Amino acid sequence: MTEGAAAPFGERLLAVFDRLGPLCVGIDPHPWLLDEWSLTADAAGVREFGLRVVEAAAGGAGVVKPQVAFYERWGSAGFAALEDVLAAARDAGLLVIGDAKRGDIGSTSDAYAEAWLHPDSPLRVDALTVSPYLGYGASAGVVRRARETGAGVFVLAATSNPEARGLQGARLTTAGGSAGTVAGGIVDDVLDDNASAGETRLGSVGLVLGATVDLAATGIDVARLATTPVLAPGFGHQGARYADLRSIYGPAARAVVVSASRGILAAGPGGVRDAVLRDAEEVRSCLA
């Protein structure tokens, strides 16, 4: 970690868990939600939507996750809107996970790291989602930059979309002759990375493991993940229940960032604050 950087991401995430619990509120300005919130389908609309969600989440949940694609849709004006939303979230004391799913190699990957993790970038976030399907090592520059700045990385391993199952559950054989799955190999890479960095309480590199995925069938042993942050989409609209947190993630349940979007946002601008408070309390009670 460089001089003057924030505390390691894992430590900051644990502090949020202790203070407010693990609920993460998605900022997903779908066109239908903009319409229901009486907002325009343009950069001004997604800006206002994001600012309202930040206001509703502050003090009730500790983490928000803007879906970057909904802002990219509006070009430079959309990115300017996203910058305002990110700044408001930082000012509100929220941890921000940028759901950008970036993945590339070499200097291009490093440039993504500078865009999203550099302390002076207007797009800076506390953690970034990345795709490892060009090889986990291709994300080395992002991981290195994250640790230098006290940020985190969430690596896609077992995602909740059904199209991913064939690839992520595919069997492979390592050079040593042991068999596993593609997703299981990504989990191994992340665990090795955190261990090599000496991060034993909660690492800076986490995993995206969908709550609707049969993790054991995908070759993932959740008992190994108690010190690994897990970003878990799939709760609410996609069908997973908060009450199933422990049965899904076992010993890793207390390391899970519980992501919910449409189930909260559908409450509308007048009900979203109450929905955040309701869901945050329910999640905490399920882990008590």
- The residues assigned a catalytic role are 101
User: For residue 108, which of 60, 155, 132, 142 has the smallest C-alpha distance?
Assistant: 142
Measure the CA–CA gap between 155 and 288, rounded to whole angstroms: 28
The DSSP output letter for 41 is S
**Backbone phi and psi for residue 238, each to the nearest 5 degrees, phi listed first:** -80, -10
Instruction: State how far the alpha carbon of 165 is from the alpha carbons of 71, 118, 216, in Å.
Output: 28, 34, 13
* Residue 282 CA neighbour count, 13 Å, CB half: 17
Instruction: Determine the distance from the C-alpha atom of residue 29 to the mean position of all C-alpha atoms in its chain, rounded to a whole number.
Output: 17
Other beta carbons within 10 angstroms of residue 163's beta carbon come to 8
The DSSP output letter for 266 is T
The residue written with tokens 């559950």 in the block is: 169
Other beta carbons within 10 angstroms of residue 171's beta carbon come to 10
Measure the CA–CA gap between 133 and 129, rounded to whole angstroms: 13
**Contact between residue 51 and residue 71 where contact means Cβ atoms under 8 Å apart:** no
